[in-house]
Structure 1
Protein backbone atom coordinates (compact mmCIF):
# COMPACT_ATOMS: atom_id res chain seq x y z
CA UNK A 1 0.00 0.00 0.00
CA UNK A 2 1.41 3.36 -1.02
CA UNK A 3 1.44 6.30 1.32
CA UNK A 4 1.22 9.94 0.42
CA UNK A 5 4.25 12.15 1.00
CA UNK A 6 2.57 13.63 4.10
CA UNK A 7 1.79 10.18 5.51
CA UNK A 8 5.37 9.09 4.88
CA UNK A 9 6.74 12.17 6.67
CA UNK A 10 4.43 11.54 9.62
CA UNK A 11 5.55 7.89 9.78
CA UNK A 12 9.21 8.93 9.69
CA UNK A 13 8.69 11.54 12.42
CA UNK A 14 6.80 9.11 14.64
CA UNK A 15 9.53 6.49 14.22
CA UNK A 16 12.24 9.11 14.81
CA UNK A 17 10.62 10.30 18.03
CA UNK A 18 10.44 6.73 19.30
CA UNK A 19 14.05 5.94 18.38
CA UNK A 20 15.45 9.22 19.72
CA UNK A 21 13.51 8.76 22.96
CA UNK A 22 14.60 5.13 23.35
CA UNK A 23 18.18 5.33 22.09
CA UNK A 24 19.17 8.98 22.39
CA UNK A 25 20.42 11.08 19.52
CA UNK A 26 23.80 9.38 19.13
CA UNK A 27 22.63 5.78 19.05
CA UNK A 28 19.49 6.31 16.98
CA UNK A 29 20.35 5.50 13.38
CA UNK A 30 18.69 6.56 10.16
CA UNK A 31 18.47 2.86 9.24
CA UNK A 32 16.62 2.00 12.46
CA UNK A 33 14.27 4.94 12.02
CA UNK A 34 13.58 3.96 8.40
CA UNK A 35 12.96 0.34 9.39
CA UNK A 36 10.50 1.40 12.08
CA UNK A 37 8.71 3.59 9.53
CA UNK A 38 8.66 0.76 6.99
CA UNK A 39 10.63 2.64 4.35
CA UNK A 40 14.05 2.68 2.73
CA UNK A 41 16.66 4.86 4.53
CA UNK A 42 17.05 6.96 1.39
CA UNK A 43 13.51 8.23 1.96
CA UNK A 44 14.53 9.70 5.32
CA UNK A 45 17.26 11.64 3.53
CA UNK A 46 14.87 12.65 0.78
CA UNK A 47 12.43 14.21 3.23
CA UNK A 48 14.81 15.54 5.89
CA UNK A 49 18.26 15.77 4.31
CA UNK A 50 20.19 14.61 7.37
CA UNK A 51 19.83 13.03 10.78
CA UNK A 52 20.37 16.48 12.32
CA UNK A 53 17.49 17.99 10.33
CA UNK A 54 15.29 15.02 11.20
CA UNK A 55 16.06 15.50 14.88
CA UNK A 56 15.39 19.23 14.70
CA UNK A 57 12.01 18.55 13.10
CA UNK A 58 11.15 15.73 15.50
CA UNK A 59 12.06 17.91 18.47
CA UNK A 60 10.40 21.08 17.21
CA UNK A 61 7.46 21.90 19.39
CA UNK A 62 5.63 24.74 20.94
CA UNK A 63 5.50 24.86 24.72
CA UNK A 64 2.44 27.09 24.30
CA UNK A 65 3.48 29.14 27.32
CA UNK A 66 0.39 31.08 28.37
CA UNK A 67 0.31 34.83 28.70
CA UNK A 68 1.08 35.06 32.40
CA UNK A 69 -0.17 38.65 32.54
CA UNK A 70 -3.68 37.18 32.45
CA UNK A 71 -3.08 35.42 35.76
CA UNK A 72 -3.33 37.13 39.14
CA UNK A 73 0.22 38.29 39.85
CA UNK A 74 0.37 36.26 43.09
CA UNK A 75 -0.38 33.06 41.12
CA UNK A 76 1.96 33.30 38.11
CA UNK A 77 4.40 30.74 39.57
CA UNK A 78 1.71 28.15 40.15
CA UNK A 79 0.11 28.89 36.75
CA UNK A 80 3.40 28.37 34.91
CA UNK A 81 4.19 25.20 36.85
CA UNK A 82 0.71 23.79 36.21
CA UNK A 83 0.99 24.56 32.49
CA UNK A 84 4.44 23.04 32.21
CA UNK A 85 3.52 19.80 33.98
CA UNK A 86 0.28 19.46 32.01
CA UNK A 87 2.42 19.79 28.88
CA UNK A 88 4.69 16.99 30.14
CA UNK A 89 1.74 14.79 31.06
CA UNK A 90 0.44 15.02 27.48
CA UNK A 91 3.84 14.90 25.75
CA UNK A 92 4.23 12.60 22.78
CA UNK A 93 7.88 11.99 23.55
CA UNK A 94 9.45 15.19 22.24
CA UNK A 95 10.23 16.66 25.63
CA UNK A 96 11.71 13.38 26.87
CA UNK A 97 13.85 13.18 23.73
CA UNK A 98 15.28 16.61 24.43
CA UNK A 99 15.82 16.12 28.13
CA UNK A 100 17.41 12.66 27.83
CA UNK A 101 19.87 13.66 25.16
CA UNK A 102 20.68 17.26 26.07
CA UNK A 103 23.27 16.29 28.65
CA UNK A 104 25.44 14.49 26.10
CA UNK A 105 24.63 16.24 22.81
CA UNK A 106 25.50 19.88 22.28
CA UNK A 107 23.02 20.18 19.37
CA UNK A 108 20.22 19.07 21.65
CA UNK A 109 21.30 21.37 24.46
CA UNK A 110 21.32 24.22 21.95
CA UNK A 111 17.78 23.28 20.91
CA UNK A 112 16.59 23.49 24.52
CA UNK A 113 18.31 26.85 24.96
CA UNK A 114 16.60 28.14 21.81
CA UNK A 115 13.17 26.95 22.97
CA UNK A 116 13.66 28.63 26.34
CA UNK A 117 14.95 31.84 24.78
CA UNK A 118 12.20 31.99 22.17
CA UNK A 119 9.23 30.78 24.18
CA UNK A 120 9.80 31.22 27.92
CA UNK A 121 11.96 34.33 28.29
CA UNK A 122 9.56 36.63 26.39
CA UNK A 123 6.65 35.56 28.62
CA UNK A 124 8.75 36.31 31.68
CA UNK A 125 9.78 39.69 30.25
CA UNK A 126 6.08 40.45 29.72
CA UNK A 127 5.61 40.34 33.50
CA UNK A 128 7.73 43.45 33.88
CA UNK A 129 10.60 44.07 36.24
CA UNK A 130 11.45 41.48 38.83
CA UNK A 131 14.33 40.70 41.14
CA UNK A 132 16.62 40.18 38.11
CA UNK A 133 16.63 40.64 34.36
CA UNK A 134 14.31 38.38 32.29
CA UNK A 135 17.17 36.18 31.06
CA UNK A 136 18.31 35.38 34.59
CA UNK A 137 14.75 34.78 35.72
CA UNK A 138 14.15 32.47 32.72
CA UNK A 139 17.31 30.54 33.57
CA UNK A 140 16.22 30.04 37.16
CA UNK A 141 12.72 29.00 36.10
CA UNK A 142 14.19 26.54 33.58
CA UNK A 143 16.52 25.06 36.21
CA UNK A 144 13.57 24.28 38.46
CA UNK A 145 11.20 23.01 35.77
CA UNK A 146 13.76 20.91 33.93
CA UNK A 147 15.21 19.54 37.16
CA UNK A 148 11.82 18.36 38.35
CA UNK A 149 10.99 17.00 34.88
CA UNK A 150 14.25 15.04 34.78
CA UNK A 151 13.58 13.51 38.19
CA UNK A 152 9.89 12.86 37.56
CA UNK A 153 9.69 11.77 33.92
CA UNK A 154 13.12 10.46 32.98
CA UNK A 155 14.76 9.16 36.17
CA UNK A 156 11.35 8.35 37.75
CA UNK A 157 12.69 9.27 41.17
CA UNK A 158 10.35 8.25 44.01
CA UNK A 159 8.21 9.79 45.37
CA UNK A 160 8.27 12.53 42.72
CA UNK A 161 7.28 10.11 39.98
CA UNK A 162 4.04 9.10 41.71
CA UNK A 163 2.97 12.45 43.17
CA UNK A 164 -0.19 14.05 41.82
CA UNK A 165 0.57 16.88 39.42
CA UNK A 166 -1.26 19.30 41.73
CA UNK A 167 1.06 18.31 44.57
CA UNK A 168 4.15 18.89 42.41
CA UNK A 169 2.75 22.29 41.41
CA UNK A 170 2.17 23.15 45.08
CA UNK A 171 5.82 22.40 45.82
CA UNK A 172 7.40 24.12 42.82
CA UNK A 173 4.96 27.04 42.35
CA UNK A 174 6.37 29.19 45.19
CA UNK A 175 9.93 28.87 43.88
CA UNK A 176 8.81 29.88 40.40
CA UNK A 177 6.81 32.75 41.88
CA UNK A 178 9.97 34.12 43.44
CA UNK A 179 11.90 33.84 40.17
CA UNK A 180 9.12 35.34 38.10
CA UNK A 181 8.14 38.39 40.12
CA UNK A 182 10.35 38.47 43.21
Structure 2
Protein backbone atom coordinates (compact mmCIF):
# COMPACT_ATOMS: atom_id res chain seq x y z
CA UNK A 1 0.00 0.00 0.00
CA UNK A 2 2.86 2.40 0.81
CA UNK A 3 4.37 1.93 -2.67
CA UNK A 4 1.01 2.78 -4.23
CA UNK A 5 0.65 5.91 -2.08
CA UNK A 6 4.23 6.94 -2.91
CA UNK A 7 3.58 6.51 -6.61
CA UNK A 8 0.36 8.53 -6.38
CA UNK A 9 2.18 11.28 -4.49
CA UNK A 10 4.89 11.47 -7.16
CA UNK A 11 2.25 11.68 -9.91
CA UNK A 12 0.40 14.37 -7.96
CA UNK A 13 3.64 16.36 -7.47
CA UNK A 14 4.47 16.00 -11.17
CA UNK A 15 0.98 17.19 -12.14
CA UNK A 16 1.18 20.20 -9.80
CA UNK A 17 4.60 21.07 -11.18
CA UNK A 18 3.37 20.85 -14.78
CA UNK A 19 0.36 23.04 -13.96
CA UNK A 20 2.50 25.69 -12.25
CA UNK A 21 5.03 25.76 -15.09
CA UNK A 22 2.27 26.14 -17.68
CA UNK A 23 0.52 28.79 -15.57
CA UNK A 24 3.68 30.88 -15.16
CA UNK A 25 4.28 30.80 -18.89
CA UNK A 26 0.66 31.68 -19.72
CA UNK A 27 0.39 34.48 -17.16
CA UNK A 28 3.72 35.89 -18.38
CA UNK A 29 2.78 35.76 -22.07
CA UNK A 30 -0.98 36.41 -21.97
CA UNK A 31 -1.56 38.35 -18.76
CA UNK A 32 -4.18 37.45 -16.17
CA UNK A 33 -7.37 38.12 -18.12
CA UNK A 34 -6.39 36.25 -21.30
CA UNK A 35 -4.74 33.28 -19.57
CA UNK A 36 -7.44 30.64 -19.24
CA UNK A 37 -7.65 27.50 -17.14
CA UNK A 38 -8.36 25.55 -20.34
CA UNK A 39 -5.20 26.87 -22.07
CA UNK A 40 -3.06 26.26 -18.99
CA UNK A 41 -4.39 22.71 -18.69
CA UNK A 42 -3.72 22.07 -22.38
CA UNK A 43 -0.14 23.35 -21.98
CA UNK A 44 0.30 21.06 -18.97
CA UNK A 45 -1.17 18.09 -20.85
CA UNK A 46 -4.00 17.52 -18.38
CA UNK A 47 -7.75 17.96 -18.09
CA UNK A 48 -8.90 21.43 -16.89
CA UNK A 49 -10.73 19.82 -13.97
CA UNK A 50 -7.33 18.84 -12.53
CA UNK A 51 -6.28 22.48 -12.36
CA UNK A 52 -9.45 23.29 -10.43
CA UNK A 53 -8.97 20.26 -8.20
CA UNK A 54 -5.50 21.37 -7.13
CA UNK A 55 -5.92 25.16 -7.05
CA UNK A 56 -9.66 25.82 -6.74
CA UNK A 57 -9.80 28.90 -8.96
CA UNK A 58 -7.84 31.02 -11.35
CA UNK A 59 -6.97 33.34 -8.44
CA UNK A 60 -5.68 30.39 -6.40
CA UNK A 61 -3.62 29.19 -9.34
CA UNK A 62 -2.16 32.65 -9.89
CA UNK A 63 -1.20 32.96 -6.22
CA UNK A 64 0.53 29.57 -6.30
CA UNK A 65 2.23 30.16 -9.65
CA UNK A 66 3.75 33.48 -8.72
CA UNK A 67 4.97 32.86 -5.19
CA UNK A 68 8.02 35.07 -5.72
CA UNK A 69 11.05 35.04 -3.44
CA UNK A 70 13.43 37.79 -4.52
CA UNK A 71 16.25 36.32 -2.40
CA UNK A 72 17.40 39.85 -1.66
CA UNK A 73 21.04 40.32 -0.66
CA UNK A 74 22.10 41.25 2.87
CA UNK A 75 23.15 44.87 2.41
CA UNK A 76 24.84 44.98 5.81
CA UNK A 77 27.47 42.58 4.44
CA UNK A 78 28.43 44.97 1.61
CA UNK A 79 30.59 48.09 1.50
CA UNK A 80 28.15 51.00 1.57
CA UNK A 81 29.33 52.35 -1.80
CA UNK A 82 28.51 49.02 -3.51
CA UNK A 83 24.82 48.88 -2.54
CA UNK A 84 23.43 50.35 -5.78
CA UNK A 85 25.54 48.09 -7.96
CA UNK A 86 24.63 45.04 -5.87
CA UNK A 87 20.89 45.75 -6.02
CA UNK A 88 20.81 46.43 -9.77
CA UNK A 89 22.96 43.35 -10.50
CA UNK A 90 20.75 41.21 -8.27
CA UNK A 91 17.65 42.57 -9.98
CA UNK A 92 19.02 41.71 -13.43
CA UNK A 93 19.94 38.19 -12.28
CA UNK A 94 16.36 37.69 -11.12
CA UNK A 95 14.69 39.01 -14.25
CA UNK A 96 16.82 37.32 -16.84
CA UNK A 97 14.87 34.16 -17.66
CA UNK A 98 12.31 34.36 -14.82
CA UNK A 99 8.76 33.90 -16.01
CA UNK A 100 7.30 34.38 -12.54
CA UNK A 101 8.49 37.96 -12.29
CA UNK A 102 7.33 38.79 -15.80
CA UNK A 103 3.92 37.31 -14.98
CA UNK A 104 3.66 39.31 -11.76
CA UNK A 105 4.57 42.55 -13.48
CA UNK A 106 2.30 41.97 -16.49
CA UNK A 107 -0.64 41.01 -14.29
CA UNK A 108 0.20 43.66 -11.70
CA UNK A 109 -0.59 46.46 -14.10
CA UNK A 110 -3.84 44.93 -15.37
CA UNK A 111 -5.49 43.03 -12.52
CA UNK A 112 -6.06 43.51 -8.79
CA UNK A 113 -4.63 40.08 -7.89
CA UNK A 114 -1.37 41.01 -9.58
CA UNK A 115 -1.28 44.46 -8.01
CA UNK A 116 -1.75 42.90 -4.58
CA UNK A 117 1.07 40.44 -5.27
CA UNK A 118 3.43 43.28 -6.27
CA UNK A 119 2.42 45.25 -3.17
CA UNK A 120 3.14 42.30 -0.90
CA UNK A 121 6.54 41.71 -2.51
CA UNK A 122 7.36 45.38 -2.02
CA UNK A 123 6.20 45.37 1.62
CA UNK A 124 7.66 42.02 2.66
CA UNK A 125 10.87 41.85 0.64
CA UNK A 126 12.06 45.25 -0.60
CA UNK A 127 11.27 47.46 2.41
CA UNK A 128 13.31 45.34 4.86
CA UNK A 129 16.35 45.42 2.56
CA UNK A 130 16.25 49.18 2.07
CA UNK A 131 15.83 49.55 5.84
CA UNK A 132 19.27 47.91 6.24
CA UNK A 133 21.05 50.79 4.50
CA UNK A 134 18.78 53.82 4.76
CA UNK A 135 20.19 56.61 6.96
CA UNK A 136 16.72 57.60 8.25
CA UNK A 137 14.12 54.93 9.12
CA UNK A 138 11.26 57.35 8.39
CA UNK A 139 12.47 57.65 4.79
CA UNK A 140 12.54 53.91 4.08
CA UNK A 141 9.14 53.73 2.30
CA UNK A 142 9.90 56.68 0.01
CA UNK A 143 13.40 55.45 -0.82
CA UNK A 144 12.21 51.89 -1.43
CA UNK A 145 9.43 53.03 -3.76
CA UNK A 146 11.90 55.16 -5.75
CA UNK A 147 14.13 52.09 -6.17
CA UNK A 148 11.11 50.02 -7.17
CA UNK A 149 10.05 52.65 -9.71
CA UNK A 150 13.47 52.56 -11.38
CA UNK A 151 13.78 48.78 -11.43
CA UNK A 152 10.18 48.01 -12.34
CA UNK A 153 10.28 50.67 -15.05
CA UNK A 154 13.28 48.96 -16.57
CA UNK A 155 11.62 45.56 -16.22
CA UNK A 156 8.45 46.78 -17.91
CA UNK A 157 10.46 48.31 -20.76
CA UNK A 158 12.88 45.41 -21.20
CA UNK A 159 10.98 42.23 -20.30
CA UNK A 160 7.29 42.99 -20.83
CA UNK A 161 7.02 45.65 -23.55
CA UNK A 162 10.39 44.58 -24.99
CA UNK A 163 11.20 48.07 -26.24
CA UNK A 164 14.08 47.56 -28.70
CA UNK A 165 16.37 50.13 -27.08
CA UNK A 166 15.80 48.59 -23.63
CA UNK A 167 16.41 45.06 -24.92
CA UNK A 168 19.56 46.23 -26.72
CA UNK A 169 21.21 47.53 -23.55
CA UNK A 170 23.92 45.25 -22.24
CA UNK A 171 23.91 44.18 -18.62
CA UNK A 172 27.00 46.32 -18.02
CA UNK A 173 25.29 49.40 -19.48
CA UNK A 174 22.22 48.91 -17.31
CA UNK A 175 24.32 48.54 -14.17
CA UNK A 176 26.40 51.60 -15.11
CA UNK A 177 23.29 53.73 -15.68
CA UNK A 178 21.08 52.53 -12.84
CA UNK A 179 23.48 51.70 -10.00
CA UNK A 180 24.33 55.34 -9.14
CA UNK A 181 20.63 56.25 -9.10
CA UNK A 182 19.66 53.32 -6.89
CA UNK A 183 22.69 54.03 -4.68
CA UNK A 184 21.53 57.62 -4.22
CA UNK A 185 17.96 56.57 -3.44
CA UNK A 186 19.08 54.16 -0.74
CA UNK A 187 22.04 55.91 0.91
CA UNK A 188 22.28 59.61 0.02
CA UNK A 189 21.28 62.30 2.48
CA UNK A 190 17.72 63.53 2.11
CA UNK A 191 17.62 66.26 -0.57
CA UNK A 192 16.13 68.69 1.96
CA UNK A 193 12.76 69.20 0.31
CA UNK A 194 9.96 69.49 2.83
CA UNK A 195 6.94 67.27 2.11
Offset of residue 131 of structure 1: 8.9
Asked if 2 retains the 8 angstrom alpha-carbon contact of 1:129 and 1:181, the reply is yes
Deviations 1:95-130 (A, max 9, x none): 111111211111101100101111111011112424
- Mapped to 2, the partners of 1:171 and 1:132 lie a distance apart of 27
What is the alpha-carbon distance in structure 1 between the residues aligned to residue 137 and residue 58 of structure 2? 41
Counterpart position of 1:39: 46
Distance 1:155 1:77 in 2: 25
Higher helix share: 2
Instruction: Give the gaps of 5 or more residues in structure 2.
Output: 1-7, 189-195
Separation of aligned partners in 2, 1:68 and 1:90: 24
**Which of 61, 74, 78 matches 2:68?**
61
What's the CA shift for 1:159? 2.2
What is the root-mean-square deviation of aligned Cα atoms in Å? 1.6
Q: Does 1:8 align with 2:15?
A: yes
* Partner of residue 121, structure 1: 127
1:18-44 CA-to-partner distances (Å, cap 9, x unmatched) read 211121101111111111111111111
Of 151, 156, 160, the residue aligned with 1:154 is 160
Deviations 1:30-74 (A, max 9, x none): 111111111111111111111101001111121111001111101
Structure 1 length as normaliser, TM-score?
Answer: 0.93
Q: How many residues align?
A: 180
Per-residue CA deviations over 1:123-178 (Å, capped at 9, x if unaligned) read: 11112424961111111110000001111112222322111112101100011011
Q: TM-score normalised to the size of structure 2?
A: 0.87
Mapping of residues 1-182 of structure 1, within 5 Å? 4-91=11-98, 93-130=99-136, 133-182=139-188
Runs of 4+ in 1 over 3 A off after TM superposition: none
* 1:74–1:177 Cα contact (<8 Å) kept: yes
